[in-house]
Structure 1
Amino acid sequence: MLGKVGFLFGLCVGLSGCGNAFEGSYRAMEGVIGPLVAIDVKGNKATVVKVDPFRKLVLSEQTWEAVSNGEKLLLTDRKGKTFAFNRSVDERGLECLNCGLGTGMPSSWQQFDPNN
């Protein structure tokens, strides 16, 4: 019996993983002509980069706090404003719940591989 309990405990620990369920890179276009915004989530940090897609110029780069709260990803900027994200319908991208016009952050985000 004790062996089964140990096995189940080990299995649970192994399956739970150590990382944030939202880890990865996401991108979105702010408005019609930009800028392009990219978020790279690793653990409890998120690097947020805004790029001018036409001039290929980095406009800003900041590190924000990232917290995975069950079904939501909460990103808090340097000024203390928190943006809440859910998984999009395709289960890969993100939908921002409090982003959009006037917030400086797009609503819909696509997952991407920054190495490609």
Structure 2
Amino acid sequence: MNKILKFGAAILAAGTLSGCGDEDFSGAYRTDGAYGKQIVLNVSGDDAKIFLVGRSTAEISGLIDFEVDYKNGKLLLDSTKEDIRLTFKRGADERGLDCLNCNEGKLRLPAKWALLQPEPYDVDLMLEEQEEKRQAAIKEEEQRRAEAAKLAKFDGDWVAKRHFKDDSLLIMTISPKKGVRHWAFDYSSATKQIEIDRKFQVDNDELVFPSNDSEMRYSLSADGTRLTCTNCKSENYWLKADPVKVNNLDYTRSLAGSPQKARE
């Protein structure tokens, strides 16, 4: 588990940690911030950092560096660049911190800070990992867009042909800009069952939907109105829908068909 994931887990488990110490303020502390974020104070020797952390993503933002000093049992933080000076003392529980002037000045932070862990985080390493993750996500999105551009020949709205009376009503939208989105509805009630973005590939002019241990390959008819599975054991195909009528339930039902045979 990398530093960022461990950090996210620590945020959730902070209330169960214990620690002690007299004037040794080293460690990581947190308090509640706005918009569902946590505010973290990381103290490591003569260096301290305060930053925001997203609860669900553990993404770090809004970092401020401080110089650290200790005086009369208090932790003094000074950020000359931001013109912020904060004073902390050990909390009554001997674990967390109480801020003595956090409600003053432009920063306006909560007074109570709980201990996250007694050892400070390697914030620089966490930021490096975060940037690597961000760059990987950008690269993945670029690859997805490049692959999606190959969808031009399959562009449009599609309705799956039903073969049994208990089959769902399946609708698929293919877009070179947005990729492939798949919906499943109960045929009778039109209750939505599934809405997902499907993974896809385009290989040798066939549209491929990969899964864990197999794949389904579809070939486009010469007139561009039918997508037929080329490696399915039974008949499986989609019919191109009128983009104006595709939201009309009667139209999509008629396109999908109304077989009376029950699935064995």
Question: Does the TM-score normalized on the shorter chain lie above 0.5?
Answer: yes
Corresponding residue for residue 84 of structure 1: 87
Corresponding residue for residue 251 of structure 2: none
Query: TM-score, normalization: structure 2?
Result: 0.32
The alignment status of 1:94 with 2:102, answered yes or no, reads no
Please show how residues 65-76 of structure 1 align to structure 2 within 5 Å: 65-76=67-78
Residue 72 of structure 1, CA deviation = 0.8
Q: Contact conserved, 2:91 with 2:98, CA < 8 A, in 1?
A: yes
CA distance in 2, matches of 1:72, 1:106: 17
CA distance in 1, matches of 2:110, 2:71: 21
What letter corresponds to residue 111 of structure 1 in structure 2?
L
Corresponding residue for residue 39 of structure 1: 41
- Runs ≥4 in structure 1, deviation > 4 angstroms? none
Q: Contact conserved, 1:21 with 1:68, CA < 8 A, in 2?
A: no
Gapped regions of structure 1 (runs ≥ 5): 1-19
Structure with greater contact order relative to length (CA < 8 Å, sep ≥ 6):
1
Residue 55 of structure 1, CA deviation = 4.9
What letter corresponds to residue 96 of structure 1 in structure 2?
C
CA distance in 2, matches of 1:72, 1:97: 10
Q: Contact conserved, 2:84 with 2:107, CA < 8 A, in 1?
A: no
Number of positions where the alignment pairs a residue of Structure 1 with one of Structure 2? 95
Q: 1:110 aligns with which of 109, 114, 118?
A: 114
Q: Contact conserved, 2:48 with 2:65, CA < 8 A, in 1?
A: yes
Residue 54 of structure 1, CA deviation = 4.4
State, as a whole percentage, how many aligned pairs show the same letter: 29
Query: TM-score, normalization: structure 1?
Result: 0.68
Residue 43 of structure 1, CA deviation = 1.1
CA distance in 1, matches of 2:110, 2:30: 9
CA distance in 1, matches of 2:116, 2:57: 21
CA distance in 2, matches of 1:66, 1:80: 14
Q: 1:63 aligns with which of 53, 62, 65?
A: 65
Residue 92 of structure 1, CA deviation = 1.0
Q: Contact conserved, 1:22 with 1:68, CA < 8 A, in 2?
A: no
CA RMSD of aligned residues (A): 2.3
CA distance in 2, matches of 1:79, 1:45: 15
Residue 67 of structure 1, CA deviation = 0.8
Question: Which of structures 1 and 2 has the bigger CA Rg?
Answer: 2
What letter corresponds to residue 80 of structure 1 in structure 2?
D
Gapped regions of structure 2 (runs ≥ 5): 1-22, 122-264
Corresponding residue for residue 192 of structure 2: none
Residue 35 of structure 1, CA deviation = 2.6
Q: 2:30 aligns with which of 11, 27, 51?
A: 27
Q: Deviations over 1:20-71 (max 9, x none)?
A: 611111111125x443111111111102221232454322223211111121
What letter corresponds to residue 29 of structure 1 in structure 2?
D
The structure where helix makes up a greater share of residues is: 2
CA distance in 1, matches of 2:44, 2:60: 20
